Chains A and B, each alone.
Chain A
Amino acid sequence: MKKFLSLILTLALILSVCSFAAADDLPTITIMFHGSNVSDDSAVLEKVNEYIADKVGAKLEVIWGTWGDFDEKAVNALTSGDKDVDIVFTCSWSSDEYNSYAKKGYFLKLDDLIEQYGADLKAAIPESLMQAATIEGAEGKGVYAVNGFKDTATQNTWDVNVTLLTELGYTVDDLMAKGFFGWDEIFAKAKEVKGDSFYPFLVEPMVAERMVTNSIIVAGDAGSTNLLSLYLNPEDVSADGIYGNKLVNKFGTPEYKAFAEQMHKYYEAGYIDPALSVGETSNDCRTNHQKDASYLIGTQSYAFGYEYSADVLARGAEIKFVPCTDPYVDTTASQGAMMAINSASEHPEEAFKFLALLNSDPTLMTLMNYGVEGIHYTLNDEGLVVFNDEARATYSPWTNGVGNVTILPDTAAEGKGFRKSFQEYYAGAKGIPSLGFVFDNSPVENEMAALGNVAAQYALALDCGAVDPETELPSFLAALDAAGMEAYLNEANAQLEAYLAK
């Protein structure tokens, strides 16, 4: 009996080994996306794997990282050399920051792979994007990630509730003619008409500050409270701004003082919701007011076509986004969404072939981004995409984080010809003089942490006008100086000068 049993077991063992060897000889490549909201990807992956089986010679598996957990997952996968993750999203603002991780050797240098397999890829994305991705990495200067052609230029706009504005008897041109410093009258009228609990000015304080003073974020600066600023020339973004190409402590400039004083006046007059000045409630408050259009003027960091997106259309009022300047290409935007190959990956060639195909082949990009035709969307008579809301709710990747969005088909909401206009809009955007500069903050890490703490204490309240700049601004500046602002500035400026000299 025992002998018989052991024979059966041995046979079973041998058979199981055989079956493993026979099946699936296609290698598996795994890609990790950011900002996804996907609960069911089986239908899509089936079609994708069918499509790429011979073109790429691999099977695809996806890790759908969400906004909150991508950073942790990506950092762990890369720093622990996890060979189960082949392709990972990277950019200049996520935890697996493009420049620093390339220097540390976590990303593969792609130049050779691009030469060999990347002809279609080079044709599909503009040269400037390849340039933006070319940095100093662990293996020398080169491209360490495939840049995603999305809204690659920054443009800040005033989010205007035109319906309400016309009700009050003004036009958008009136608004712009008066400018930020002259909106007292209009706000007062709005409060009169809509009642005392109505807050006409719905700002995102940090963005408002940049719009009024024409300052830009510097990549590599302290996270959410930026301390350094480059000043933009609002007439011609590729020319030098008022401070030339020097980095300044933006809180110490006269422009900032004027801005803070004006915001304080608006706040005291009751034009700004107090909940906006507190970090924890600021974002929720803004989203809530946006949902029912209970504001007159707001701020919005703009992407072409945003006015056609579902949430804007659902606001129930006519919304117009009025730009402050032309769109400009800065480092943050031009390195905003990239796909890098993990240097620990066992199938780098297949991984790169997949990326090249994804960014150049409309069929694959549509599959990954929009889903399967018939299940997640249908095409109407004009050939525009109409989403099936129910199915879409189970499969919503972050569109701009997948790759080259210009090869996607137009949706019914965006209208015909949208993607073409999108491409032209961003291909025509000019770069700022210091494009490509990333501040390496490792020499001044301690100062940055201390300065970040000080800024977190004062900046939001000052930007929102909740406190009196007469008293708070001087103490803020003093605290910044005490925390090492000068050393920080000097280091940044030295790096910028060296970069521009090249």
Chain B
Amino acid sequence: MTAVSQSAKKKIKAGSFSLNRFGTGTQSVFHLVLAAFSLMCIIPFIFVIIIAFSSEESIRQIGYSFAPLSWSTQAFTYTFQLGNALWRSYFNSFLITAVGTLLSVSITVLYAYPLFRRDFRFRNFFNFLSFFTMIFGGGLVPTFVICKSVLGLSDNYAALIVPMLFSPFNVIIMRTFLQTTVPTELIEAATIDGSGEYSTLLRIVLPVVKPGIATIALLVSLAYWNEWFLSLLYLNKNMEIMPLQYLLMRMQRNADFLAKNSSMLGADAAKAAAQLPSQSLKMALVVFIVVPIACAYPFFQRYVVAGLTIGSVKG
């Protein structure tokens, strides 16, 4: 029994003192640090919105600024004029993300479940198989050859979905989540009651691991939504299925290339640079791209917090 001072006893009685709570000073410091960090995360996005609504003249004269000389909705009206191309790209992004997330989550769960079941004979082999691919990769050219020539992933939606379907990292998260949330007794009880394997998985285990699935779904949908490199590699002739992210990246890469190589290209570079889309248009596209995923996040949020603490408290 530790000695407790008189003043401490008084505080405990008054209810304002807790041995586990931080003092007011420390609390304010923590609040300040976290507020600063949150601001650092939010301010760039606010900046993007401001630039999207700045007029082109303002950007030309004073560059990017929190207080532009004049405001205009030029960029957004221009995007609406772009018409079908833009909405098609937007639709493509949604389609690829939705289908990709659905397929990827299914594959991940179906792969992780047997790995979690201790009575699966080839557990070690499949564990090693997925883990190995996380460490070693073939590189860009072999992947490209396999995808294009062997799997026929070229100029179609499959090319933008299939390469990212399986992620060993997600499998490990899922498996760990299963291990910590689903007691083996549950499976045994289900088997005794006459449930088949699929029935056990779908009716008993899945409802329990909803947080895990939501975490994986969020990670995967974020990955699909932000992906543009696959479009660069595999979309050559069929530009109808190009997602919005690739459209934006193309504009950015064009600008970068011209800036870097202007001395080699001479007058052509100047001509091309003059035709590039405006800065505010690029920012308007960024707004288009960020808004859906930012809106989706709150739905997943409560699951992610649960998912992040996987395995931190046993039992």
Interface window among A134-142, A281-289, A439-447: A281-289
Which chain A residues border B249 with CB–CB below 8 Å? Answer: 68
Chain A interface category by residue count: 35 or more
- Quick check: B257 and A67 within 8 Å, CB to CB? yes
Q: Mark B233-277, 1 if CB is under 8 A from A, else 0.
A: 100110100000000011111111111111111111111111110
Residue among B148, B233, B237, B264 with the highest chain A CB neighbour number at 10 A: B264
Interface window among B72-80, B138-146, B170-178: B138-146
**Chain A residues numbered 45-84 whose CB sits less than 8 Å from any CB in chain B:** 61-63, 66-69, 71-73, 76, 79-82, 84
Report A254 CB to chain B, min CB distance, Å. 23
Which chain A residues border B141 with CB–CB below 8 Å? Answer: 76, 79-80
Docked CA distance A203–B76 (Å): 33
Report A78 CB to chain B, min CB distance, Å. 10
- Quick check: B270 and A290 within 8 Å, CB to CB? yes
The answer to whether the Cβ of A268 comes within 8 Å of any Cβ in the partner chain is no
The binding surface of chain A is classed by DSSP as: mixed
- Quick check: A37 and B237 within 8 Å, CB to CB? no
Report B86 CB to chain A, min CB distance, Å. 11
- Quick check: B267 and A69 within 8 Å, CB to CB? no
- Quick check: B270 and A37 within 8 Å, CB to CB? no
- Quick check: A311 and B236 within 8 Å, CB to CB? no
Docked CA distance A68–B249 (Å): 9
- Quick check: A204 and B262 within 8 Å, CB to CB? yes
Which chain A residues border B239 with CB–CB below 8 Å? Answer: 39
The answer to whether the Cβ of B204 comes within 8 Å of any Cβ in the partner chain is no
- Quick check: A80 and B259 within 8 Å, CB to CB? no
Selected from A37, A84, A204, the residue in CB contact (under 8 A) with B275 is A37
The answer to whether the Cβ of B63 comes within 8 Å of any Cβ in the partner chain is yes
- With A72-B233, A207-B263, A283-B262 already in contact, the answer to whether A311 and B270 are too (CB < 8 A) is yes
- With A76-B144, A291-B274 already in contact, the answer to whether A332 and B264 are too (CB < 8 A) is yes
- Quick check: A287 and B274 within 8 Å, CB to CB? yes
Selected from A300, A306, A398, the residue in CB contact (under 8 A) with B272 is A398
Report B106 CB to chain A, min CB distance, Å. 29
Measured CB to CB, the nearest residue on chain A to B266 is A301
Docked CA distance A154–B266 (Å): 9
Report A73 CB to chain B, min CB distance, Å. 7
- With A80-B144, A283-B259 already in contact, the answer to whether A151 and B236 are too (CB < 8 A) is no
- With A76-B144, A204-B262, A224-B260 already in contact, the answer to whether A283 and B273 are too (CB < 8 A) is yes
Selected from B232, B261, B270, the residue in CB contact (under 8 A) with A69 is B232
- Quick check: B267 and A68 within 8 Å, CB to CB? no
The answer to whether the Cβ of A206 comes within 8 Å of any Cβ in the partner chain is yes
Docked CA distance A62–B233 (Å): 16
- With A73-B232, A282-B259, A301-B263 already in contact, the answer to whether A67 and B254 are too (CB < 8 A) is yes
Q: Mark A258-302, 1 if CB is under 8 A from B, else 0.
A: 000000000000000001000101111001101110000000111
Q: Mark B99-143, 1 if CB is under 8 A from A, else 0.
A: 000000000000000000000000000000000000000001100
Q: Mark A403-427, 1 if CB is under 8 A from B, else 0.
A: 0000000000000000000000000
Name 21 interchain pairs, CB-CB below 8 A, sorted by A: A30-B237, A35-B268, A39-B85, A61-B237, A66-B253, A66-B254, A67-B253, A68-B254, A69-B232, A69-B253, A73-B232, A76-B144, A76-B233, A82-B149, A224-B261, A287-B270, A301-B263, A303-B267, A303-B268, A309-B267, A310-B274
Binding site for B on A (CB under 8 A): 30, 32, 35, 37, 39, 61-63, 66-69, 71-73, 76, 79-82, 84, 93, 151, 154, 204, 206-207, 217, 223-224, 275, 279, 281-284, 287-288, 290-292, 300-303, 306, 309-311, 314, 332, 336, 396, 398-401
Minimum-distance CB pairs A-B, first 10: A68-B253, A301-B266, A283-B259, A311-B274, A303-B267, A306-B267, A68-B254, A93-B264, A67-B254, A288-B60
Besides the contacts A291-B274, A311-B270, A332-B264, what 14 more A-B pairs have beta carbons closer than 8 Å?
Answer: A35-B268, A66-B254, A69-B232, A76-B233, A217-B263, A224-B260, A224-B261, A283-B258, A288-B60, A290-B274, A291-B60, A301-B266, A303-B266, A306-B267
